Structure 1
């Protein structure tokens, strides 16, 4: 919550350090992206002449080197397409650039926190700014005071400044669960649990279809204002999906903690590569934030001491939770499950969640069993 004068200094600082980062990136690209120490020899003196402090100059160099490390990791993992593809060639053909409002890391030499007054003292190009107020919830302030570690990032988004602090909150002691809650993830129903909770995805899917239609209109215009609006709409859609995933994960973890159960999740790693769908269905699949929801459940469960296991989801939609009979014809429709073995009729996602709950219980039991061979009695 800076004053107008403080906001102007912060804005000028971010623009200056990111312009410097772009220059360091050009140098790194020309020299084949050397190691950080060698890159420092070619750029540190120039950064100091541009008005950057010693620590800030070091952080700018490290930020650039980390960006190239991430780029090379994505290239090796195939996240930017196959080698020689257009997307791959575009990524390696030019230096990495940094937006004027991109995040800048600050360590404790450049930034100090006054928790009681809820102010910070921060380095800027115009000098040290003291008494810059920040807003924080009481619970967040308590976590910040007790668990803040390492660097914090200053970022500007839509004219608002944020300090992103890293907090290391110790995990609670994991309890021994009495049973497991199975969580079936999907697109029509975002999450269905074996305890009866169902988070429908109807509203989110409808919202995403409206956003897709709006994006198509804006992309046809090809104007600067359309591109700015596209970026704004993308962030808005991302925030909405993230908020929904936070609420769903909190409900599931709270229920597990209250009933003394663990959580059994599907291991959906690589599902986008495995599944083959028609073109209209691909948008829904690639918009599915299942990994984010799983991450939220895992970190909330660790803080609550709730155990989480990931199980193989194979045939969970075709297996009967009552008798274990597996048949492709069991899944009559998206919502209806009718077992060809025992005749039980159930909601398809609810049945799958019970199957996953049982698999989670089996996986937990197998992990607790001793696999050490029994010793032979000596005569």
Structure 2
């Protein structure tokens, strides 16, 4: 299992300027490679490297940073191609798709830059790093992190690290390769988790994690952004920059806390976790205009990802199930009908009369599908 550990580096003023210049130089090189790729149609890493390597060396990059700039460019075009093929920029001939296809990819001047072990070395005992820059090699730059982060870095760091400039500070995002623990057999069944907007997550045990606070923050930020964008002054633009990312960090922290509680409960009760497979829900669901912003800012994929990796670290089984009719089906008799949902929060079966909170009923259906899905997948593994 690969995890990313973030640590803050604390350069002095000359080193800070050298790191900033290095990011600018690497991203200028990436933009040059991007223009060549766009003009020639050469987007694969090796052919693109042959076409632009000499140019990047003349721009002041040494061998490894030049190669990484090319690889970053090739990766960006591969991602763009995948998004186009998936229709994420609209159908062929649409204005949005034409706009994306009609210009080369651009990298911000402070965009992250990867460094391998030839360009970046760690001294964990001294808590310092040595890193290549356009002004020469910088040594003994201190870094700081939590005890857990430092322990993971010392024991499991492997591969590249990204130099990131964010909020006026420099960070290193280091890849750690952790051995996968053995997944424990879910002897107690599965903890079903229904994801939603009113309640971010509701479990089959009846625990609900309300989304009211998160939605309130999002609505406040949206109103503030609208006012600042309308004003358009220099101070308004500065405040918009400061506001950028605050909502995303708040949502991520909320999802981290929920995911940790779900995994802890599943581990305590010797159960797995069953989640809805909600891929493509934004394309399938049709909502009234006031509800669209809420849906499109709903970070269910992030919560699912957090649950998956935390569960993997704890050896807890995770199953993704088909979400269709989980909110309309009765968890007692199995009867499915739209009439079973008289309102958003209520489930009342028109067949057997069973009544429950709608999200809890859906979570119980998800838990049952988790048991069935686990049995089917492991029966196939045993047969193989």
Fold shared, TM-score > 0.5 on shorter chain: yes
Residue 320 of structure 1 contacts residue 351 of structure 1 at CA under 8 Å; is this kept in 2? yes
Q: Does residue 345 of the first structure (1) align with residue 355 of the second (2)? A: yes
Compared with structure 1, are the counterparts of its residues 271 and 124 closer, same or farther at alpha carbon in structure 2 (3 Å cutoff)? same
| Cα distance in 2 between the residues matched to 1:230 and 1:360 | 43
Residue 107 of structure 1 contacts residue 151 of structure 1 at CA under 8 Å; is this kept in 2? yes
Q: Which residue in the other structure is 2:46 paired with?
A: 37
Compared with structure 1, are the counterparts of its residues 362 and 34 closer, same or farther at alpha carbon in structure 2 (3 Å cutoff)? closer
Which structure has the larger Rg over C-alpha atoms?
1
Three-state SS of the structure 2 residue aligned to 1:22 is helix
Q: Does residue 239 of the first structure (1) align with residue 239 of the second (2)? A: no
Q: 1:198-253, CA deviations, whole angstroms, 9 ceiling, x for partnerless residues?
A: 11000111111111112222332445654554454341111111111111001000
Residue 33 of structure 1 contacts residue 68 of structure 1 at CA under 8 Å; is this kept in 2? no
Residue 171 of structure 1 contacts residue 304 of structure 1 at CA under 8 Å; is this kept in 2? no
2:275 to 255, 265, 287: 265
Shift of 1:108: 0.3
Q: Counterparts of 1:49-60 in structure 2 under 5 Å? A: 49-60=58-69
Q: Which residue in the other structure is 1:176 paired with?
A: 185
Shift of 1:39: 2.4
Q: Which residue in the other structure is 2:150 paired with?
A: 141
Q: Counterparts of 1:114-263 in structure 2 under 5 Å? A: 114-178=123-187, 179-222=189-232, 226-227=236-237, 229-263=239-273
Residue 193 of structure 2 contacts residue 202 of structure 2 at CA under 8 Å; is this kept in 1? yes
Superposition RMSD on alpha carbons, in Å?
1.8
Of the two structures, which has the highest relative contact order with CA contacts closer than 8 Å and spacing of 6 or more? Answer: 2
Q: Which residue in the other structure is 1:70 paired with?
A: 79
Report how many aligned residue pairs link the two structures: 373
**Unaligned stretches of 5+ in structure 1?**
374-379
Compared with structure 1, are the counterparts of its residues 278 and 44 closer, same or farther at alpha carbon in structure 2 (3 Å cutoff)? same
| Cα distance in 2 between the residues matched to 1:259 and 1:295 | 21
Q: Does residue 361 of the first structure (1) align with residue 374 of the second (2)? A: no
Three-state SS of the structure 2 residue aligned to 1:369 is helix
Shift of 1:77: 1.2
| Cα distance in 1 between the residues matched to 2:379 and 2:310 | 27
Q: 1:262-290, CA deviations, whole angstroms, 9 ceiling, x for partnerless residues?
A: 11111112111111111111111111111
2:300 to 278, 290, 293: 290
Q: Does residue 91 of the first structure (1) align with residue 72 of the second (2)? A: no
Question: Greater shift after overlay, 115-124 or 75-84?
Answer: 75-84
Compared with structure 1, are the counterparts of its residues 181 and 281 closer, same or farther at alpha carbon in structure 2 (3 Å cutoff)? same
Shift of 1:16: 1.4
TM-score with structure 1 setting the length:
0.94
Shift of 1:341: 2.3
Q: Which residue in the other structure is 2:34 paired with?
A: 25
Compared with structure 1, are the counterparts of its residues 335 and 8 closer, same or farther at alpha carbon in structure 2 (3 Å cutoff)? same
Three-state SS of the structure 1 residue aligned to 2:144 is coil
Residue 30 of structure 2 contacts residue 107 of structure 2 at CA under 8 Å; is this kept in 1? yes
Q: Does residue 330 of the first structure (1) align with residue 364 of the second (2)? A: no
Residue 342 of structure 2 contacts residue 348 of structure 2 at CA under 8 Å; is this kept in 1? yes
Question: Greater shift after overlay, 325-334 or 112-121?
Answer: 325-334
Q: Does residue 100 of the first structure (1) align with residue 109 of the second (2)? A: yes
**Unaligned stretches of 5+ in structure 2?**
1-9
| Cα distance in 2 between the residues matched to 1:17 and 1:83 | 33
Q: 1:133-168, CA deviations, whole angstroms, 9 ceiling, x for partnerless residues?
A: 111111111111222121111010121101011112
Question: Greater shift after overlay, 313-322 or 131-140?
Answer: 313-322
Three-state SS of the structure 1 residue aligned to 2:245 is helix
